[in-house]
Structure formats: C-alpha cells, structure tokens
Amino acid sequence: VYFRSNDVVACIVTCGGLCPGLNTVIREIVCGLSYMYGVDKVLGIDGGYRGFYSKNTIDLTPKVVNDIHKRGGTILGTSRGGHDTGKIVDSIQDRGINQVYCVKLYYTIINLESIISMYFA
C-alpha cells in the first residue's frame, strides 16, 4: 500500500462497549502514523459512529495522546448501535478522510463492512 503522508487525513473511531486497552490502541495508531509514516492529520471521532455526523472531532497528535494509555475507557467516547451509514459515508467524504481506523470488536467490523460497501458503491 502506498500513500503520500501529506495527503493522508486519517481518523480513529471507537465503537461499542468499553474494554481495556482502547486508549493504548489509539495512542499507538497516532504515534505510528506520525513517527513511522509522517502523517500529520489524524482526527478522533468523538462518540462512536454517531460522531461522524455530529461533526465532533478531536485533533490527535503524539503530544495529545502521550499519556492516555494510563487512563481507562476511551478519550474518544463511544456509542452502541443505531447509526446511519449514509451519513457516515457523507461525513467521511466531506472531510476528505482517506484512512479510517475502527477500534472495537465484532459488531464494529460488521458495521464497517456496510460503510465500506456504500463508500465504494
């Protein structure tokens, strides 16, 4: 996979219930994108999938996520079920997001499949 780091607008979303290690995963994605690949624009979607269309984002940098692994929960917040796939896809396109990192378990992956299929339809 090839991408120009200056062209990347990545986002991270946490969905479903809380589980240990979510903040650590967020931290590692942000630091990996920044330090290993030179990506400067990483957005945190606040409030799970619904955060895409409520337009709540957090700019994530290595400085912002430096100590989050020491806290429980997720700094991004989360929600369960009840999302509008069309609005999510519209939000991704409107914001120019070209990398989406979904952090959670089985149902997040099932929901992500519907988002991907609609995005590429």
Beta-strand ranges (E) seen in the chain are 10-14, 42-45, 57-59, 99-103
Judge: domain 5-114, CATH 3.40.50.300.
no
pLDDT value, residue 60? 97
**Tens digit of each residue's pLDDT (9 = 90 or more) over 45-104:** 998 888 888 778 999 999 999 999 888 888 998 877 667 888 888 999 999 999 999 887
pLDDT tops 90 at residue 3: no
Higher pLDDT, 103 or 105: 103
What is the pTM assigned to this prediction? 0.83
Q: Which amino acid, one-letter code, is at 34?
A: S
pLDDT tops 60 at residue 110: no
pLDDT value, residue 120? 64
Average pLDDT for 5-9: 93
**Tens digit of each residue's pLDDT (9 = 90 or more) over 18-59:** 777 889 999 999 999 999 999 999 999 998 888 888 778 999
**Exposure of 45 in the CB half-sphere (CA atoms within 13 A):** 27
Residue 102 · residue 112 · CB < 8 Å: yes
Residue 19 · residue 108 · CB < 8 Å: no
pLDDT value, residue 48? 87
